[in-house]
Structure formats: structure tokens, C-alpha cells
Structure 1
């Protein structure tokens, strides 16, 4: 009981260390201050019956854009739940930050405990990852909430892959949940982490093979579990992943996030930046003089030296006894090498020296900032804290956890504070549609559909134009994804209607319930020639073939989850039925 309380206390202090700046009144200054508006737009769309939410009515200068088809939606679904429960917008945003630190702390703890077979290792891994300076940068400088949620998912994925060697179902669900959270929170982190997750899975596959006395059947079952988990998670997230991948060419995203300031070649790091603890609140710049820090952490740098000394000394000792390099394939050395590979590989990808890889793999340009690889590097550096538990026991292990825990907390906790607080937050955190259209749209133009002319664009002062002029009408249905107009008297002749809606695949126009063709005008807006004597005209966002198949895939994947859960618990269910 005492040990459980002590464990809860240590994890609680870690979470507090990462979130103490959330408690003061008001909201802190961050680069990305649009979270509140995204939550408001998500809440509005859900309230209007749009699910899954794809279209934001008020972004795109009031002409709308498919924000949540491309911008990972999970944090905002959760934030919308808080907001619908009556919590203030800023409180809802802060809760998303707080949940992120809780999930990160527990995920890293379970991963460290599982890999190194020691609760103390779990505590240190949790402290080092949750309090990693790069997480502080994401939370309290950049305000990169989605990326922080992506980082939260990583330890859960690795934990599931590892624990599945001995507990198939537990590992399967942990891996699946972690992958779903990752893909729906920050798909760029998924791209970054994918090769490292694959290498980790290969290491675990080898360990399963050796631990099962080279039993091929059980090893293949384990492999099948991992593949099944990956497939199920991809199916569950298909409603978002496939449209985001296959329909991005219908937006202006490549014109806004792949050039100018966002050109990846301007944001490589220098090795010395990993060791510079000088903190700042500016933006990323070309060269080593960024006014923000990419510090790995004081304790993280020290533990690398400790691990190198302890592991190297033990390896030389074991090599003298066995005189066989095959000992590298032993669990303690194989996991250590995997962690070092994750750390070295992720740091390398953030350096200018890796530019050949970046240019060869064109999709990496969507990552924009090579230093985003610090998300994986931070986890790998945290895992280094568990490596000594392969080699030290007793008093040395107890001394190690006390010293390193204190060092991590003391050296990192003050990075988790903002530059300043705003007591009056009404200028940045609001749900007023008019202000979203006129102020926030300029900040986030990434997903405005192609064809929309952004030069001198202003929010619309009309709902529909008849032959270029404002005309009398009644708006019977007014939702972000569907509108129904009534014309009294009916249109006297064929009329060209222009709607204040950006055209995007899936929009359809109906005249008295009959679907009619439409086209884009010179400003990219939905325009249609309406037959004479038409009384009712509707505009509705429907599914495309890509979206429909993706939604169906996610639905059947969810049904599969229910079926698998029933299979897992069939004995329990039948036992209850019998009793």
C-alpha cells in the first residue's frame, strides 16, 4: 500500500511539474492561439448534426473550408465535449493540455516498467519524457497541442507492442488505441515515428522468438497480432486518413505550408543546439541562432554518459566471458541498441546532413520543421534512463532513481512556464462567428479550397446572389453543411445563383429536390443556373466516393472492435449467462 501511494505521489508530481502553469487565471501566450476557435467550430458543427465533422462554416473568411477533413480532429472532439458540458472555452483548452500530460506520464511509466522490468525505471522514463524540454516547447511556447497529443500516443504504442509478447489482448488493445490517438491527433508525428516504431517492433519480434524457445508458431501469432492492430487502427481512422490524403489537392495547402518560411530546408538544427539550455519564446529561424530552444535536457545529456559507461563496461566484461559477439542479441543489449538507434536516427533527421533523405522522400516536406523529430528523440532519451536497470541492483539502483528523479524535476520543471499570461482573453478566445470570419481566417488559410481568390478577400455580406444582385429569399435551413432557400414568388426565369460558399468536392445544388449541375465562379464560389419557376433551392455537402468508402471502413472497423471485445470476453459473458 505504501509503495502504491509513493508511486502515485511521484507520478502526480511529474504531472504537476508539467502542468503547474495551467492553474493561474486567464490564458498564457502561445504561438498557436486558435485552439479555442477550433473547439467552437467543432461544437457548432456537431450541434448541427455534422458527423464526422469536416466542414467549418466560418473559417475561410466566412465562405467555409474543410478544416477538420485535414486538421487532425481528435483533440477538438474531446475539447468540444468539455465545451458542450458548459465549461468556458479557455478551461476546455487548458483541460486538453492537462489531459495530454496525464496520458504522457502514465504511458511512459508503463512503457519503462514493461521494457526494463522495474517500477523505478518506469518512474524515471515517465519523468524524463513528460518533463522533456521539447514537450515544454510544444505546450508553453508553440502551443502545438496536436503534436503534444501525438507525443502522448507514442509510449502507449511501444508499450502495446512490447506487452503483446506475453499478453496478446492487452498488447493488442494498447497498440490499437495508441495508433488511433496518434493518427487522429497528429499525422505528421505518425510519419516521423513510423520507421522507429517498425524497428522497435522487429526487435520485439526477435525477443518473442528467443523467449519462446524459437517457437515459430507463437512468433507468427505475435506478428499477426501486431499486423492486425495496425490494420484495425488504420480502419478506425480511415474516415479521416484517406480523405486527408486523397483530397488535399482540392485545397490550397501546398501553396501555404510548403514554401517560404515553411520550407523545411530553412529549419535544420545544429548539433550544439541539442546542448544549449538557453530558453526563448520566439520562432524557428535559419541558422543556429533560433530564439527558441531545442535543448535535450540536462539530465538527458548526463544519462547518455552514464549509460555509455555502465553498458560499455558490462559488455566488455560479458564479452571476455562468452567471447562471442552474439551476446549483442541478448535482451538487455538489443533493447539498449534499439533505444540508441531511435535517439541517433531521430537526431540525425533534424540535422542538415540528412537533407539528401528529405529531398529523396518528397512527402517529408509536409513535416515542415526537421526539428519535429525531437518528439521521437525525447522519448528515446527518456528510455535511456531505464537502461541502467539491466545492470545495477540494490543500493546502487535506489541511489540512481533518487538522484536522477530529483535532477530531472529540478532541471526541467521551470521550462514548463509561458512567457506571459493574458488576463483579458476576449480578443483571442471566443466563439463569435463574425470574428472568426474577419480575424481568425487570415491566420489559418491552409485548407481554403482551390479557386478561391485570397487577394482582397472579405467576409460575405450576402447569403445568395441572383444574377449578381442581392435578391429576396427566405432561409429555411441554415446549417454549416446544408442550406435551404425559399424564393417567393418562385424565380420568374432562369437565374444564376451564387452562394457565399467555397466550392469543394461533395457540394451539391438542388432545385425543388432535383439535383442540378453547378460550377465555380471566378472567385471559387458555388454557382448554378436555376430553372424558371423554382421555389426551393438547396445546397448540401455530401460525401464523395473517397469519403463514403472511408466512413464505411471506419464503421465496420468499429463493429470489428465490438466483435473482438466479445470474443475476448466470451467466457465471462457465458459464465454470467449461466449463473
Structure 2
């Protein structure tokens, strides 16, 4: 099988990637997934915060029964930012969720092909590797069973990072740096934990395949710029995590989510729940298991090209490490390392296996048997066919009242990831009044609320204490007639709420959510990093123009 036009495989990958998504769009209902119903109110909350002028978005003002919460200070922002584009274009919440998650899947195929084509310089190998990547069982499960909104985007941006690094290895230094930096940035803001797995893979790829010291330097500068570009999100998410209940409630989640080897390796061609772990199909998949077997056989028994051998060793190393972290043997490591516990589910390391086995799938073409046109096409067909049982959800569909999710009362987290430690936990009902007089005598009027700004007037008959029924988080400030006043947030009767004093008289009150010094520093670090990336990109283009002019 030969591709006479490089555009043909891109088109084929797009068409084939649409196939598992068709069921999603055959109904106006929402496919019932583990997380789908959580993402709808988050999409709505993020969009409303953008409309209120928040950027970066950090505080979801209407969730948690109107008390609000710093949800987006900790939750990956990229899928919600992209969702806002679809909402702006007029799509509803359900349509937006479907389009956003589907876009991630299509992009992952296109970016994987770009990387594989650049790396192998062989369209046939690149296409095979991409099909393995797209139709790995767990890739489909992430969409149709889990509704993993952010994780699906990490699968798109890992190959884009590797594509940029490969350009650096081929001495396209500035172009490679720009692509690698931007792709690393997008990877990090796509998902908290899976992005870390893929980041480690990216670093391993640099160390394993760089041939020159200059390549190493440029690649690590590119990755570093990507990290610093994401500082607006990653620094507060890491350093302000101590203010939440996350560590307390997530510390033991991993214990019941180690998949058995039986569930991982048993062919589950009908997607039987018998081989699930925690309601999740965790099969590696027949083609991908065969890839591992072939890879080991080739390394031991055959004389092969050193580059292919390097690919297989690299892939098998990732496979082995991923398998180790999914095994109960690694329990002691999970128990000792709090960062690892943030992954929640050991089977998330299947993402590493998906990539490593797909990358190693080029080993099939080390056998002349698989190079035959009809054998090659049959292999492609079998890979896709074996994934079909996972295209259809086992949980059915949900009829969605979108108005409810636009005004969602709960907090959308499972393990206290964004519940602040000085509160009494998630709210249980709406407050009777948004602002309440708890000491003294006063009349409140003209109350206006945005997610990040509350404005009202107070006619205080005496010195008065007010409580704004909003969950306090560093950054909230109160002003009386434009003058800052101290906020108390540890009153035992109003735990974690914004409390402040107002003197006697008529006053204009403003309660506003602002950036702390840490967040302001993180924002500036991101801004300057983007400027550096742009300048490098512009310098690259100008240099090429000067060079062409000189040659002419």
C-alpha cells in the first residue's frame, strides 16, 4: 500500500476517526459516561466566568449553591476554554461537550500521524502507528465510557510535542522550539495527571533519541518555555493546593483501582464487564499485546536496524514502567508519594501503554509478511474492528435539561479538590440572602453579582458586620467607599465565608476577586514566556527571509 499524496492519509485518518464518534451524534441526548454530567456545569460555569471578565478563570461563582468555589484554580482549563468557543457560536451544553471531546480525538490522530511521518519518514509506518494509537481500546473507553474531557486532549498534544522535538533533532531549531513550547503548554493545561505521564515520556524521548548536545539544549529550552508558559495555571494549582481537602479525601482512592493482569491482558472482544476494573474497561487490547510480544522477539532473535531497536527498547521501557505503576507491587510508592496519589486511579497509566505500544507497532513492518498490501490492509481492518464493541456506551443516554446545568447547585468535584479547608465542606442549600447583617443594624440594597464582583449599597444605622455568603479564597477583597477593609473568614458560625465590618452611614460596597502576588507572578511568567516564543518564531521567519535575499 502506497500513498501517492501525503494529504490522503490525513484525510483517511480524519474519516476513520469519525467512525467511533458517530453514535454520539445520532441523538440529541448525552452519552452516559462517568464524568459527562460533571463537565456540563463546569462548561457553563467557565463560560459565565469568561463573560464576567475573568481571565484566567479561577472562581466559579454560581456553583456550590451560590457560595462559589475556586474550581478553575485547580481544574485543567483547556477543554473548558475550547468549549466556550462552541457556546459562543450558539451550541448548547450537550452539543458543546460532544464537539469538544470529538475534536480532541480527531486532532490526536492528525498530530500522531504528523509525528510518526516526521520520525519514520515512511508514510506506511506512520499510518499504521497512528491507527494503533487511535483505535487502542482505552482510547475509545476514555470517550464512550469515561467521558474524560481533559485526558482526551493530552492524547492530542503528546504527539505534537514529540513532533516539535523531532524537528529540533532534524536541525529545524527555531520552528521546532516554537511547536514544542506551544504543544507542551497545551499538554499541561489539558489535564493534571495524564499530562505529567506524557511529559515524562517527552523528556525520555529527548534523552533517548537526541544525537547532539545542541539538540538536547534546544529541546530542553523548548520544553522549559512550555512549562513556564503554563505557569498561570500550574503554579497556583500546585502551590495553593494546600488550601483544599484534596490530599485528605484522595489519599486512599488508588487502593481499589489496581487492575489485575487478567483484566489487562485477557482479550475482551465483546467489552464484557467481567473484565472491568472499577466500572472501567482496562484491556490493553489484542493488537497492542501482540506488539509487545513481537517487539521482544525482534530484539532477542533478529538483527535489526539500530533505530528500530532503539524504538522498541524505549517503548518496552515505557510499557514496563506503566505496568509496574498499575500493579499492587507499587503500592508502597503510591503510599509514600502524595503527587502520585493525585492520579487517583493506577489504571490511568494505561495512557503510557497506549502510546508505547503504538510507537512500537512499526515493528510489524520488520516482517516482510506484513509489508504485503492485503496483509497490511487486513491488519488495519482488524485493529479497527476489534475496537468496535467499545464504540457503543454500556450505560445508555441521558436526557438533559440544560437550564438545570446552567444553574447547577452542587460543586462538581468528587474528592474535595477545590473545597477549601477553612469551610465546613460543600454547601447544602442556597443562602436566604446573598449578603446578611450579622451584627448591628443596616439596610442592604442594589445588590449586583458576578462570579468575581459583588456590588451593593449599605445604609448602616450603626457600626455593622456583614457576611457575604461566598466561599473565601485568597484574592477576595472587600472595599467600603473604595477603601479596603479587612476580611474575616474563620467565624465559627460562618466558616469560610467573607465577613467584614462597615461603619455607620451610607456606603458603596465592592467585594472583588483579584489575583494574589503568586498568581500575578505566574501570569507574568506565562506572558513573558509567550513573548519569548513569539520573538523566536518571528526571528526564525526574518532570518529565513534575509537568507533567501542573500542567496538571490
TM score, norm. by length of structure 2: 0.91
Select the residue among 367, 383, 397 that pairs with 1:422: 397
Q: String of CA shifts for 1:438-470, please: whole Å, max 9, x gaps.
A: x45576753122222137732212111112699
Give the structure 2 partner of residue 369 of structure 1: 345
Shift of 1:379: 0.7
Give the structure 2 partner of residue 461 of structure 1: 432
Find out whether 1:398 has 2:367 as its counterpart. no
Q: String of CA shifts for 1:238-274, please: whole Å, max 9, x gaps.
A: 1000000111112222233334xx2x12211221211
**Partner of 1:474: helix, strand, or coil?**
strand
Shift of 1:475: 3.0
Select the residue among 384, 392, 395 that pairs with 1:409: 384
Select the residue among 406, 431, 442 that pairs with 1:432: 406
Find out whether 1:494 has 2:468 as its counterpart. no
Aligned CA-pair RMSD: 2.8
Work out whether residues 10 and 123 of structure 1, in 8 Å CA contact, stay in contact via their aligned partners in 2. Answer: no
What are the ranges of 5 or more consecutive residues in structure 2 without an aligned counterpart? none
CA distance in 2 between partners of 1:313 and 1:470 (Å): 87
CA distance in 2 between partners of 1:280 and 1:41 (Å): 35
Shift of 1:89: 1.4
**Partner of 1:538: helix, strand, or coil?**
strand
**Partner of 2:150: helix, strand, or coil?**
helix
Select the residue among 21, 25, 30 that pairs with 1:27: 30
Find out whether 1:352 has 2:328 as its counterpart. yes
| 1:352–1:567 CA distance, 2 compared to 1 (3 A) | same
CA distance in 2 between partners of 1:333 and 1:178 (Å): 27
CA distance in 1 between partners of 2:6 and 2:42 (Å): 39
Work out whether residues 468 and 498 of structure 1, in 8 Å CA contact, stay in contact via their aligned partners in 2. Answer: no
**Partner of 2:281: helix, strand, or coil?**
coil
Select the residue among 467, 479, 487 that pairs with 1:510: 479
Matches within 5 A, 1:44-193: 44-166=48-170, 167-193=172-198
For these two proteins, the number of residue pairs brought into alignment is: 542
Shift of 1:420: 4.6
CA distance in 1 between partners of 2:202 and 2:322 (Å): 12
Give the structure 2 partner of residue 268 of structure 1: 258
Give the structure 1 partner of residue 510 of structure 2: 538
CA distance in 2 between partners of 1:442 and 1:460 (Å): 21
Shift of 1:109: 1.4
**Partner of 2:468: helix, strand, or coil?**
strand
What are the ranges of 5 or more consecutive residues in structure 1 without an aligned counterpart? 209-218, 319-326
**Partner of 1:368: helix, strand, or coil?**
coil
Give the structure 2 partner of residue 212 of structure 1: none
TM score, norm. by length of structure 1: 0.87
Give the structure 1 partner of residue 301 of structure 2: 313
Shift of 1:539: 0.7
CA distance in 1 between partners of 2:116 and 2:547 (Å): 36
Give the structure 1 partner of residue 530 of structure 2: 558
Select the residue among 248, 259, 284 that pairs with 1:296: 284
Matches within 5 A, 1:215-254: 219-254=212-247
